[in-house]
Amino acid sequence: MPIASYIRPSQQATRRLLVEASSQALIAMISFHQDFIAGNLTYQLGDVYWLAQQSGDRHDSRLIIYEEILGNHEEPIGYDTGNRELAELTVHFLEVLKNTHNNRTVLDR
């Protein structure tokens, strides 16, 4: 059975998913400086910029950590074959999210 080809979602579908996710979970976001597909904060464009603006307008923002690194949207991901900085930053962000979630859970009890 052939594997389905990748289908790029529409911007409307992407933003709907981002709004739904950001209302329910903490967000850590990594963008690439040369990403002109998802965008970034440097050039103030795309869904990355849009999500940051949406989060910044709310007093209960779920966006807790953000980093922009060198690279582009279609750069290989992976420690051995791709962007090591991205792999290490992703692990760091997961630790921050876990610690933040655990601290908020304790405070909510």
Indicate the SS3 state at residue 65. Answer: strand
- Tell me the pLDDT band of 40, cut-offs 50, 70 and 90: very high
Percent of the chain with pLDDT over 70: 82
Tell me the pTM: 0.74
Q: Cα 40 to chain center, whole Å?
A: 10
Could you tell me if residue 2 is inside a domain? no
Could you tell me if residue 4 is inside a domain? no
Could you tell me if residue 6 is inside a domain? no
Angle, in degrees to the nearest 10, between helices 11-22 and 46-56? 30
Query: What is the domain range of residue 36?
Result: 11-108
Could you tell me if residue 1 is inside a domain? no
The whole-number average pLDDT for the span 50-78 is 79
Please give the pLDDT value at position 73.
85
Please give the pLDDT value at position 109.
45
Q: Which residues contact 39 (CB under 8 A, 6 or more apart)?
A: 31, 45, 46, 47, 48, 49, 50
The whole-number average pLDDT for the span 63-81 is 81
Could you tell me if residue 88 is inside a domain? yes
Could you tell me if residue 62 is inside a domain? yes
Domain count, the chain: 1
CA angle 80, 83, 84 (to 5 degrees): 65
